[in-house]
Amino acid sequence: MIKVLTIEREYGSGAAMIAQRLAEKLGWKLWDQAITDEVARYLECDRRHVEQQEERRDPLHYRLLKSFLRGSFEGSLNAPKMKIADAAGIRKVTEELVRKAADEGNAVIVGRGAAYYLHDCANAFHTFVYAPFDDKVQRLQSEGRSQAEAMELVENVDSDRTMFIKEHFGIDWPARHLFHLMVNSVIGEEMVVDIILGGLAAAKKGKLPGMSC
C-alpha cells in the first residue's frame, strides 16, 4: 500500500505549491519546510542557515579542514559529541527525518534526497516535477525576484543539487530510472496535481517494485 509520496523537483518549477495541494487533497502531512524546521531545532541553529546548506555540498576547503580535524587526536575525541550544522551534518539529520516520516506514513516529502533515500521502498511513489527554463524564471519573478536573480537561482540551485546527489548517491541527478512519474509543470499546477493523484491511484492497484519500508 502506498503511504509515501516523494516530490523531487527543479528549482522554480512550482513543486512546493503542488506538494501543498497534494497533501491537502490526500489528507497527508507535508514534509517540506517542516523538515527544515526540524533540522534547525535538532542542530540548534537558525532555519535560514539550514535553508542555505541543505541539498548542497560543503566547500572543498571546508571538507579538507574537517577531514584534517577528524584525523587529529583532539578532533577524534570531540567530534562524536558535537552537533555540527554544516552541509554534511544537515544531510545526516535530514536522512533520519525522511526515514522516520516514511515509517510513520501518510507523508508528502519534498526534495531533500527523499526519493534517493527511499528508492527501495515499495510503499513510496516517487515523482519529479520540472519545467522549461523561461517558465521557471517567470515563476520566480512573479514571486518578487529580479530577472537576473531568478536566472542565477535557476542555474545554480539545481547545479548544487546535482553535485549533492552525485556525492552522496553516486548517480547523476535526477536519475530518471528511480521515478515512477515525471511531469512538466508548464501544463498548470492543478493538472500536475491531478496527474500525480492519478498515478498514485494506479500504483495502489498493483505492487511497486522494491522492498517494504
Q: What integer pLDDT is reported at residue 173 of this predicted model?
A: 93
* pLDDT band, very low/low/confident/very high, at 84 (cuts 50, 70, 90): low
* pLDDT band, very low/low/confident/very high, at 51 (cuts 50, 70, 90): confident
Is this model's pTM higher than 0.75 or not? yes
Q: What integer pLDDT is reported at residue 150 of this predicted model?
A: 96
Strand 124-130 to 107-110 pairing: unpaired
Displacement of CA 154 from its chain's centroid (Å): 16
Strand 107-110 to 29-31 pairing: parallel
Say whether the peptide bond before residue 59 is cis (omega within 30 degrees of 0): no
DSSP 8-state assignment for residue 178: G
**Mean pLDDT on 61-88:** 49
Displacement of CA 124 from its chain's centroid (Å): 14
**CA–CA dist 178, 92 (Å, integer):** 21
**CA–CA dist 144, 113 (Å, integer):** 27
Per-residue pLDDT reduced to its tens digit, 101-130: 999 999 999 999 999 999 999 899 999 999
Domains of the chain (ranges, CATH numbers): 4-47+93-204 (3.40.50.300)
Q: What are phi and psi of 87, to 5 degrees?
A: -60, -40
